[in-house]
Amino acid sequence: MRTRSMTKVPPIETIATGDEDDPNNKQQGDLVDNFHGIEINPQIETDAQEILCLEDDLHNLRSQRLRELHQPIYILPMAKVNLQAQDDDLFSLKERVQEFLASQRQVMLVLGDSGSGKSAFNRHLEHQLWTDYNQGGSIPLYINLPTVDDPAHDLIEKQLQYLSFPDNQIQEMKQHRQFILICDGYDESQLTINIHTTNHLNQPGHWRSKTIISCRSQYLGQDYRSQFQPQPVDQDQSTWSNLFQEAVIAPFSKEQIEEYVTRYVPLEPRPWVTKDYMHMLTTIPNLMDLVKNPFLLTLALEALPSITESKQDLSTVRVTRVELYDKFVAHWLSVNKRRLESNALSVDDRIVFDQLLDAGFISMGIDYAKRLALAIFERQDGNPVVRYNHLHDHDTWKAEFFGADPLARLLQESCPLTRTDNQFLFLHRSMLEYFFSLGIYDPVGTDDDFAAQAETPSPTAHAFDPSNPLFRRNLLTEPSVIQFLCDRVKLDSTFDQQLLSVVNLSKADATVSTTTAATNAITILVRAGFRFNGADLQGIKVPGADLSGGQFDYAQLQGAYLRNVNLSRSWLRKADMSGAQMNGVQFGELPYLELDSWVFACAYSSDGKMLAVGDCARSQEMFVMEGHSDHVKSVGFSPCGRHIASSSKDKTVRVWDSQTRESLFVLEGHTDKVRSVKYSPRGERLVSGGRDGTIRFWNSETGEPGVVLNSSFGGVYSLTFSPDGRWIASGHVRGGLQLWHAVSGEPGPVLHGHTKPVTGIAFSPDSLWIASSSRDSTVKLWDASTGSLINTLSSHMAWVNDVVFSPDGLQIASGASDDRVRLWDVDSVLTSSVEQEDQLGAVLKTVYSPTGRYILTVDTYQTIKQWSSQTGAPSPLSIELPESLSVESISYSLNGSPTVVATQDKSIQLWELHAKGPKTILESSRTVDYVTMSPCSRWIVSVDLDNTVTLWDLDSTQQMHILIEQGGPTSEIIRCMAFSTTGPQLAVGSWMGRIWLFDPQSKGLLTFTSTLWSIEAMSFSPDGQQLAVGTTRGSIYLWNLQSVECAIKLRGHTRMVKCISYSHCGEWIASSTQDRTVLVWRRRRSPGDKESWSCVSTVRGFFDAVCDIAWSPTVPMEFVTGCNDKSVRVWQVSSDGEDVVVKLLWGTNLAVLHADGLVLKGTMGLASTEQKLLVQRGASDDSLTKGDKQDDYTDSEAVKSDDYTDSEGVESDDYTDSEGVESDDEE
């Protein structure tokens, strides 16, 4: 048989796969011949010689493929079960494929990001399958899908013909043999059909195969499984879920990276050893995150020597994904330039090569690859494989790149391309996309000096030409290209302005090309984190743009054409959309339902057309069933409707006849109140969960007790069965959620995420997803198969008491103690999680640097971050604190160095930037509770657990002075402390309203006063003459320290004051409370020179309490807020006479739809549902219904769930402490 070579392994990827002699790669048993459940036709009589000939040809193919597939490095990839699963719940992909081949399943989908190693794994798998191949066994068949014409039909036959198998052998294999298809590059072939179904695989009379398909994750939509699920032969025999599985390749771990580097170094002479490479990878900020991608790791190892050349401080080096490609390409071309210089070239080739050197070899190579990428997208719609036959294609566009001309040939052989027979393609799909992005925007003035390459912006930074792909192609279908361009925005300060000019061009130009370019441009800008706060976008035309997660505070969008724009989780505060065209605009959420009292339960009708809710205000008694001796905690109907089960605080479960109201059984066994009872889907079993931590099964017909499960998560608060009857989910009082196998009772995945009691659990109708509600005010969506958290829904503002799926699984309804039922679109919930570049916990402290350039923050995860105060860009820090420390205070020293004060048991530690250990350690005899540092960095004051206040003088670390011993004579609870900024004053405040004023220098008590205020926060005015005191009741008192006049009272907040901060000019105060607002106050002086203050602005849009506020020392009227909602935001106050406006400059982690003050007057095409949603979120429009409540509470009734008391309907033994733990469940 005359065989033809299959697609060769690209050179760059040969560094990414397997060592034959590595014992870790030796497998136990074969990977083949397991096709359970697939009916094999009886062996028919064939010519023995033909069979021998077929096996001989297969042997030749095996030998050929084993030679081609040998790869010097291979690191076994890890994987997770699906896209939503977390990266810390992994398994071996190779082992999972082995399990697939031994199972009844027919299709396995292998997903991964671009460069994650999908193709490398496929080649390794084929190598292993051919190694284990036995005569008559399953035949491995690797198919590079982009190389096949119309892979939707006759896929196997076309590949066998390509391999030169004759027709009689192909028919023999179709009738009598089985295949393991390895289909690589589903996304690159731009398929949207189910190739398993269209090729009739495993259908009677057709090819029999196990099929493994690889695809990039970014290519798929939200309903991607339908493109891969096989069609069962017998609908009663199986369902697609039994025939299909998937796995997602996970990023490399640090150990895998180090193993890769260890194998990489000896392959050829390197400038460094493994230790040097790892030092560079771990020291350069964010580089380790990039190289978790195997292909980027390969690029980085090649580029690192040039990246770090002449760099003294590696912590200041910033490397992005696109820079790795820049460096790698320049390195690749420089290596090929040296190769050509040393080769013996023909006369014609030497002339052309000299011309290339004169023109700049590297720049000419990049230009060639860029033009080729543009042609591939224009001529082949992005299909990466270019077939060139000189006889047929010499007069086509292809000849420019692959013809016999020496210029084309030299450049083609020098660029990062690979060739198999007449097929040409880039080394990697991402390389094609990289060069295509350069065709859209190339900032680099390249020359042959590699060290300088990619450093200097092009001197020709001009406006885009209308022939640019930005104007001709919808880039939203090319997420990898958009990512490259986003990186360019972050690197090149001129690129964002050019994109913005394209957006503005659409204001006056409504042509398709211009609106396409504007849509692409604004999508790139939003994805890159560009903020449109205050921007003039009037009349822009950006149909179909993806603006999800964008910031448009005070943006002017009047008359904008926004048809089909995605505005999910966007910040639209005070934006003006008057007259905008908004047909098909997506917000990713549905309006909530408003009731008059707490909502405790929700239920959809069976047809999904009605939603029933249970609240405190309305109910109609139909009949009473008496028997329980204490409060009933849960009630449920049997599936047939004939019986009712109830659970009670009296420790029993009762079963009732729903028609006669007779008590049929009293089920006893729980030793504490029974919170929840549920019927199994078929009604034959009952399951109950109690405060005693047990889950008990019962026979619903006889009342006989069954299995008892003991939970380690404390009292059971809620229970449910999955619709398929396989799982039971239990929600617990401490926030845990446990899955149990319903038949065996064995524990399954544990779902961690809630912080307070889980009040409700619901499975989707297909049992794939779980929704849970909690007293932590959130609804969470989980993957039922893995327990992975998919999304957290945080729009409720009080306890969420119940959650349900609609019968079709398309909606989730949740009811809460904020009197609201919120409706969620499941598809939007699954797909609208906006990626946040900087993940934070609740932001507890904020401070500006002395120059005002930077902002320092610390969060509940003890993460310390530094931000540019102008742009919000994170700035690298080198403070690495032990996990055992608790950060109590952050500041900048007088020399501008970030300083951290942390505690550990009885010690106080000071850390500075770049420090390898603490600069100062202060030892106390008591356990330290919290600490504050003076602005001059000389003094520290600490409070111990017994309320002893100690002052430390850092000029002499041995000097400590106890200011207040154990709360003073009246044993006060110390709540807050504050240093003055200008003079030696220290204020200490207590819960009972006592205020001490000390002189830190003399350690003496300056004054002491008792007030009626319950003190929570304090702050000195800049001149030290006034002390602002915040109380638990929401009032702020301004105490003049130089007079006996009554304090000035500021009224406006409705909840406990969390923070007070004076501006540096002393004319403004910003304060925050638990009511989720910031109030801005302005000093007024009457003609009699009597001081007064008025609230001039209320800043809304926070989704939890604001913990800290700091004013800029250099920019007038600018302040930063740190919030429990994990956001850092910088605000600018402007004043025009009496009018005061507070605008958002930038913010992090704002991925929640916010529309406070959004103007919608005269908008066109906005559906009534979206109108209602936006008004509920605070939008204003005279044409819409007034009186809808906003999400930000401003009255005294708007209390948070943690403040509810027994008189409000909550049993005291259900919820008695701030942690949400039942009192006798505490350990």
Q: What is the mean pLDDT of residues 651-672?
A: 86
- Domain 593-822 part of CATH 3.40.50.360: no
What is the structure's pLDDT at 222? Answer: 62
Q: Are 820 and 802 in contact (CB under 8 A)?
A: no
Q: Are 845 and 855 in contact (CB under 8 A)?
A: no
Q: What is the mean pLDDT of residues 567-578?
A: 92
Q: Token match 């095996």: residue?
A: 62
Q: Of 598 and 151, which is predicted with more confidence?
A: 151
Going by pLDDT thresholds of 50, 70 and 90, the confidence category of residue 314 is: confident
Token digits for 491? Answer: 């690197």
What is the structure's pLDDT at 608? Answer: 59
Measure CA 905 to chain center. Answer: 35
Q: What is the mean pLDDT of residues 1035-1049?
A: 84
Domains 593-822 and 837-877+1011-1150 share a fold: yes
Kind of pairing, strands 939-944 and 758-763?
Answer: unpaired
What is the structure's pLDDT at 11? Answer: 34
Half-sphere exposure of 1166 (CA within 13 A, CB side): 26
- CB within 8 A of 219, min separation 6: which ones? 186, 187
What is the structure's pLDDT at 486? Answer: 94
pLDDT tens per residue, range 377-392: 999 999 999 999 989 9
**Sequence ranges of the domains in the chain:** 50-249, 320-440, 469-527, 549-588+832-836+1152-1192, 593-822, 837-877+1011-1150, 880-975
pLDDT above 70 for 86:
no
Least confident of 184-198, 321-335, 398-412, 805-819: 805-819
Q: Of 604 and 1161, which is predicted with more confidence?
A: 1161
Q: Of 858 and 1202, which is predicted with more confidence?
A: 858
Q: What is the mean pLDDT of residues 938-952?
A: 90
What is the structure's pLDDT at 1195? Answer: 33
Distances (CA, A) of 1098 to 406, 1053, 1073, 1112, 1140: 71, 10, 12, 19, 10
Vertex 73: Cα angle to 72 and 77 (nearest 5): 145
pLDDT tens per residue, range 1106-1159: 999 999 999 989 999 999 888 999 999 998 877 899 999 999 887 678 899 999
What whole-number distance in Å separates Cα of residue 402 and Cα of residue 393?
9
CATH number of 837-877+1011-1150: 2.130.10.10
Which CATH number among 3.90.350, 3.40.50, 1.10.20, 3.30.460 corresponds to the domain 50-249?
3.40.50
Q: How many CB atoms lie within 10 A of CB 33?
A: 15
Measure CA 191 to chain center. Answer: 27
pLDDT above 70 for 1023:
yes
Q: What is the mean pLDDT of residues 304-324?
A: 80
Kind of pairing, strands 611-615 and 386-387?
Answer: unpaired
Q: Of 227 and 632, which is predicted with more confidence?
A: 227
pLDDT above 70 for 304:
yes
Q: How many CB atoms lie within 10 A of CB 865?
A: 19
Locate all alpha helices (DSSP H) within 415-528, ordered by sequence. Answer: 429-440, 469-472, 479-491, 495-505, 512-527
How many percent of the chain have pLDDT more than 90? 44
Least confident of 762-766, 845-849, 869-873, 1214-1218: 1214-1218
Packing angle of the helix pair 321-342, 361-380 (nearest 10 deg): 120
Q: Are 1069 and 1093 in contact (CB under 8 A)?
A: yes
Least confident of 587-601, 1093-1107, 1137-1151: 587-601
Mean pLDDT of the chain: 83
pLDDT above 60 for 616:
no
Q: Of 960 and 461, which is predicted with more confidence?
A: 960
CATH architecture observed for domain 880-975: Beta Barrel (2.40)
Least confident of 284-293, 919-928, 967-976, 1014-1023: 919-928
Q: Are 179 and 21 in contact (CB under 8 A)?
A: no
Secondary structure (H, E, C), 1014-1062: CEEEEEECCCCCEEEEEECCCCEEEEECCCCCCCEEECCCCCCEEEEEE
Q: Are 566 and 548 in contact (CB under 8 A)?
A: yes
pLDDT above 80 for 312:
no
pLDDT tens per residue, range 965-989: 998 888 888 889 999 987 789 999 9
Q: Are 157 and 53 in contact (CB under 8 A)?
A: no
What whole-number distance in Å separates Cα of residue 35 and Cα of residue 31?
11
What is the structure's pLDDT at 742? Answer: 85
Q: Are 199 and 152 in contact (CB under 8 A)?
A: yes
pLDDT above 60 for 832:
no
What is the structure's pLDDT at 879? Answer: 62
Give the neighbor-by-neighbor strand order of the sheet with 986-990. Answer: 974-979, 986-990, 994-999, 1004-1010
pLDDT above 60 for 1186:
no
φ/ψ region of 3 (left if φ > 0, alpha if ψ in -120 to 50, else beta) reads: beta
Going by pLDDT thresholds of 50, 70 and 90, the confidence category of residue 1088 is: low
What is the structure's pLDDT at 1152? Answer: 76
Token digits for 1023? Answer: 């001149």
What whole-number distance in Å separates Cα of residue 550 and Cα of residue 568?
9
What whole-number distance in Å separates Cα of residue 1032 and Cα of residue 1073?
9
pLDDT above 60 for 618:
no
Q: Are 695 and 675 in contact (CB under 8 A)?
A: no
Token digits for 907? Answer: 């010690």
What whole-number distance in Å separates Cα of residue 408 and Cα of residue 429?
21
DSSP element (H, E) containing 254? helix 254-264
What is the structure's pLDDT at 236? Answer: 43
Distances (CA, A) of 860 to 540, 839, 1049: 41, 12, 32
What whole-number distance in Å separates Cα of residue 164 and Cα of residue 157?
11
The dihedral through the CA atoms of 421, 424, 430, 431 has a sign that is positive
Q: Are 510 and 555 in contact (CB under 8 A)?
A: no
